[in-house]
Chains A and B, each alone.
Chain A
Amino acid sequence: MALLEVKNLNVCVDDREILHGLSLSVNEGEVHAIMGPNGSGKSTLSHVIAGKPGYEVTGGEILYKGENLLEMSPDERAAKGVFLAFQYPVEIPGVATMNFLRTALNAQRKARGQGEFSTPAFLKKVREVAAKLNIPQDMLKRGVNVGFSGGEKKRNEILQMALFEPALCILDEMDSGLDIDALRIAADGVNALRSPDRAMVVITHYQRLLNYIIPDFVHVMSRGRVVKSGDKQLALELEASGYTQFDDAA
């Protein structure tokens, strides 16, 4: 059984169909890259998997560990191990990062019937992960993402990913707005989390990110569906030839 099974998915936003019969199958331990031009529906797919309101699924289904993902609330999905690293992480003034991390982790644990993390154990864990990601301690005391640079916001997403230990990570345009050094730190953070029991879906417009996070599979999306799948070579071909050919095909 695949960890994530997207079957013939149709999705509308404001009565406009964005995804037209999209299918995707992701197994544990695999890293899938989804590439495609702007407006091809990549971010819509990530939002629908995470459960963002405002998207109407008009056809098809998404199974996660064999369960109907679309029937779950966003917090249920998070507790069951679905994690979306946001393209644009929001700023939450007045909510200290540390408090947010603890509240979120304990909410997930509670939903799974696990006990709360003790404060010292929690602090130790956060500090370890933060140090690996070059996240200074004072950033954790500030409001969530408030005054963070683009790179810091992305690292904060990866910090959460490391802390929550999800089974399925969706990385939405992780490379957008990052310079090469910031990209390397973020990619190292992601690579450290690769494991046989964790799958990743890396959404990106550019091949560049895939030099750092080497995918097992590459899918090309155009006009709301996957039009071509292959291995990492496909990303290199795309870099050379561009997306136009797929626009024509679709």
Chain B
Amino acid sequence: MNLALAKTDTARATSDIFATARDRLPGKEEVAEVRQRAFEAYERAGLPHRRIEEWKYTDLRALMREVLPLAAAPDAGALKRAEVALASLAAVDAQRLVLVDGVFAPTLSHPSTLEAGVKVRTLREALEDQNDEEKAELLDGGGILGPMISLNAAMATDGVLVTIAEGVTLKKPVHIVHVATRSSAARYTRSFLTVGKGARATLLESFVAAEGARSYQTNDAVAVRLGEATELQHVRLMVDAPDAVNITTAIFTIGAKARLNTLNMTTGGGVSRYQGYLTFAGEGAEVTANGVSLLVGRQHADNTLFLDHAVPNCMSREIFRSVVDDRAHSVFQGRIMVRPDAQKTDAKMMTRALLLSDEAEADNKPELEIFADDVTCGHGATTGALDESLLFYLRARGLSEKEAQALLIQAFVGEAIEQISSDALRELAISAAQHWLAARG
């Protein structure tokens, strides 16, 4: 059989996109070499498709079809539109760092709100730093492989590198905001958060669209490194434009005795995939990794988590809730690996989907790979509709059909939200759910 070696039109177009973008991408020499190799790795695989097990339910060749050209760097007009979009976050009292169309926007960020012990650099600065000999490692993906993370390494235009000093307790969240202003273009960002030993912090990430921004693509990567005995509360709110694509890779490395509580909340975007890789690097750590997807229309949202219990005596909890209306599609893939040395691992995962229409779809795929013998592991999954008897009870008490549904949906997703200990972050997540419910009418 003669396999076609010629590039498809789509692949050729992508290759042109990289060639054209090259001059704009920060970093020369070894950084440029890493980008070249990453791009070649992407090209060999192309967009992931359903025959690749990890992407079985999220076939990007069908859903995304092509890689769009790099978004132009923001000009004054784009920054103005981004500023208007940021008004929706005005109530959030945080140390704000804004990326517009993949480029750090100092005028929209609040460097003066940075607390003592917080240092911020941009990815661009770091990649262009002549004195930094390890800068190319910023693009190596921390050992996580896959075409989308390779593409991110090749194309990343900017991001923020946040370092929190040892022993510091932050008063306000660090808030990374991604604003899209360009339509039919792609943005690639890569950010880092390093939390020093004993420090306590909250990280909020928001993805929002400026008025009129449509059909754009986001490929973001975030690497979080938690030192010993640290505590991080993390909430990610994805409210991209309804026809936008968002592919995000999050890599968490969790030190000994660290506490991580992370929630990914998807209410926006047309096609999204949030892939989290969480690795225990020291004993006695605890992770709560939750997710909520609220979907309407033809939205497709995929949450894929890989929890790696590489060391003994760690605990992990995953609660995932999806509410799927119309012809939307929710995917949850939760993989837990318990390595041979990881005795006394305590890992549990529970996923529940609520289908609000006959055509809604939810796929749940839990996977446990256990190589240690003294562990407590479990998973569960349910899919169903709203309970008619509960709906009738509420309606008999005067709630309209929509009001009754809204109350039950809020309670349903609340289980995944209520563990956030930061009041401000928890309320933001709740109001994101309420906003979705109100928009549903």
Interface residues of A (CB under 8 A from B): 50-53, 73-75, 77-79, 83-84, 86, 89-90, 92-95, 100, 103-105, 107-108, 111, 143, 160, 164
Q: Out of B389, B396, B399, B408, which one reaches A84, CB within 8 Å?
A: B396
- Tell me how far the C-beta of B414 lies from the nearest C-beta in chain A, rounded to whole angstroms: 5
Asked if B407 and A100 make an inter-chain contact with CB atoms under 8 angstroms apart, the answer reads yes
Known: A78-B398, A104-B398, A164-B398. A90 touches B407 (CB 8 A): no
With the chains together, A179 CA to B400 CA distance in Å?
Answer: 35
Using Cβ atoms and an 8 Å threshold, which residues of chain A touch B395?
A: 51, 73-75, 78
Identity of the chain A residue whose Cβ is nearest the Cβ of B409 in the assembled complex: A94
Identity of the chain A residue whose Cβ is nearest the Cβ of B389 in the assembled complex: A90
Using Cβ atoms and an 8 Å threshold, which residues of chain A touch B401?
A: 73, 75
With the chains together, A169 CA to B360 CA distance in Å?
Answer: 39
Q: Out of A53, A90, A94, A164, which one reaches B393, CB within 8 Å?
A: A90
Asked if A95 and B411 make an inter-chain contact with CB atoms under 8 angstroms apart, the answer reads yes
Using Cβ atoms and an 8 Å threshold, which residues of chain B touch A75?
A: 395-401, 403-404
Residue of A51, A75, A78, A79 with highest tally of chain B CB at under 10 A: A75
With the chains together, A92 CA to B408 CA distance in Å?
Answer: 8
Interface residues of B (CB under 8 A from A): 387-390, 392-401, 403-404, 407-408, 410-412, 414-415
Q: Out of A79, A89, A90, which one reaches B398, CB within 8 Å?
A: A79
Asked if B392 and A107 make an inter-chain contact with CB atoms under 8 angstroms apart, the answer reads no
With the chains together, A94 CA to B414 CA distance in Å?
Answer: 7
Identity of the chain A residue whose Cβ is nearest the Cβ of B406 in the assembled complex: A103
Asked if A104 and B397 make an inter-chain contact with CB atoms under 8 angstroms apart, the answer reads yes
Q: Out of A92, A103, A164, which one reaches B403, CB within 8 Å?
A: A103
Asked if A89 and B411 make an inter-chain contact with CB atoms under 8 angstroms apart, the answer reads no
Identity of the chain A residue whose Cβ is nearest the Cβ of B415 in the assembled complex: A94
Using Cβ atoms and an 8 Å threshold, which residues of chain B touch A86?
A: 393, 396
**A-B contacts, 21 listed (Cβ < 8 Å):** A51-B395, A51-B396, A52-B396, A53-B388, A73-B395, A74-B392, A75-B398, A78-B397, A86-B393, A86-B396, A90-B387, A90-B393, A94-B411, A100-B397, A100-B407, A103-B407, A105-B398, A107-B398, A107-B403, A108-B398, A160-B397
- Tell me how far the C-beta of B262 lies from the nearest C-beta in chain A, rounded to whole angstroms: 21
- Tell me how far the C-beta of B356 lies from the nearest C-beta in chain A, rounded to whole angstroms: 17
With the chains together, A51 CA to B400 CA distance in Å?
Answer: 13
Identity of the chain B residue whose Cβ is nearest the Cβ of A109 in the assembled complex: B398
Using Cβ atoms and an 8 Å threshold, which residues of chain A touch B387?
A: 90
- Tell me how far the C-beta of A171 lies from the nearest C-beta in chain B, rounded to whole angstroms: 13
Asked if B393 and A107 make an inter-chain contact with CB atoms under 8 angstroms apart, the answer reads no
Identity of the chain A residue whose Cβ is nearest the Cβ of B404 in the assembled complex: A75
Q: Out of A52, A100, A105, which one reaches B392, CB within 8 Å?
A: A52
Q: Out of B388, B390, B415, which one reaches A92, CB within 8 Å?
A: B390
With the chains together, A90 CA to B391 CA distance in Å?
Answer: 10
Using Cβ atoms and an 8 Å threshold, which residues of chain B touch A73?
A: 395, 400-401
Residue of A83, A89, A103, A111 with highest tally of chain B CB at under 10 A: A103
- Tell me how far the C-beta of B292 lies from the nearest C-beta in chain A, rounded to whole angstroms: 13
Using Cβ atoms and an 8 Å threshold, which residues of chain B touch A94?
A: 410-412, 414-415
Asked if A93 and B411 make an inter-chain contact with CB atoms under 8 angstroms apart, the answer reads yes
Using Cβ atoms and an 8 Å threshold, which residues of chain A touch B400?
A: 73, 75, 107
Using Cβ atoms and an 8 Å threshold, which residues of chain A touch B407?
A: 95, 100, 103
With the chains together, A133 CA to B323 CA distance in Å?
Answer: 38
With the chains together, A100 CA to B396 CA distance in Å?
Answer: 12
Asked if B398 and A111 make an inter-chain contact with CB atoms under 8 angstroms apart, the answer reads yes
Using Cβ atoms and an 8 Å threshold, which residues of chain A touch B415?
A: 94
The 6 closest A-B pairs by CB, nearest first: A94-B411, A108-B398, A78-B398, A74-B395, A104-B397, A107-B398
With the chains together, A50 CA to B398 CA distance in Å?
Answer: 11
Asked if B399 and A103 make an inter-chain contact with CB atoms under 8 angstroms apart, the answer reads yes
With the chains together, A104 CA to B400 CA distance in Å?
Answer: 10
Known: A53-B392, A74-B392. A92 touches B411 (CB 8 A): yes
Asked if A95 and B408 make an inter-chain contact with CB atoms under 8 angstroms apart, the answer reads yes
- 4 new A-B pairs (CB below 8 Å) besides A73-B401, A90-B390? A51-B395, A52-B396, A94-B412, A107-B399
Identity of the chain B residue whose Cβ is nearest the Cβ of A85 in the assembled complex: B396
Asked if B412 and A104 make an inter-chain contact with CB atoms under 8 angstroms apart, the answer reads no
With the chains together, A92 CA to B395 CA distance in Å?
Answer: 13
- Tell me how far the C-beta of A111 lies from the nearest C-beta in chain B, rounded to whole angstroms: 7
Using Cβ atoms and an 8 Å threshold, which residues of chain B touch A84?
A: 396
- Tell me how far the C-beta of B350 lies from the nearest C-beta in chain A, rounded to whole angstroms: 14
With the chains together, A86 CA to B396 CA distance in Å?
Answer: 10
Asked if B396 and A50 make an inter-chain contact with CB atoms under 8 angstroms apart, the answer reads yes
- Tell me how far the C-beta of B391 lies from the nearest C-beta in chain A, rounded to whole angstroms: 9
Identity of the chain A residue whose Cβ is nearest the Cβ of B392 in the assembled complex: A52
- Tell me how far the C-beta of B332 lies from the nearest C-beta in chain A, rounded to whole angstroms: 19
Using Cβ atoms and an 8 Å threshold, which residues of chain B touch A51?
A: 395-396
- Tell me how far the C-beta of B387 lies from the nearest C-beta in chain A, rounded to whole angstroms: 8
With the chains together, A84 CA to B398 CA distance in Å?
Answer: 11
Using Cβ atoms and an 8 Å threshold, which residues of chain A touch B408?
A: 92, 95
Using Cβ atoms and an 8 Å threshold, which residues of chain B touch A111?
A: 398
Asked if A104 and B411 make an inter-chain contact with CB atoms under 8 angstroms apart, the answer reads no
Using Cβ atoms and an 8 Å threshold, which residues of chain A touch B399?
A: 75, 103-104, 107
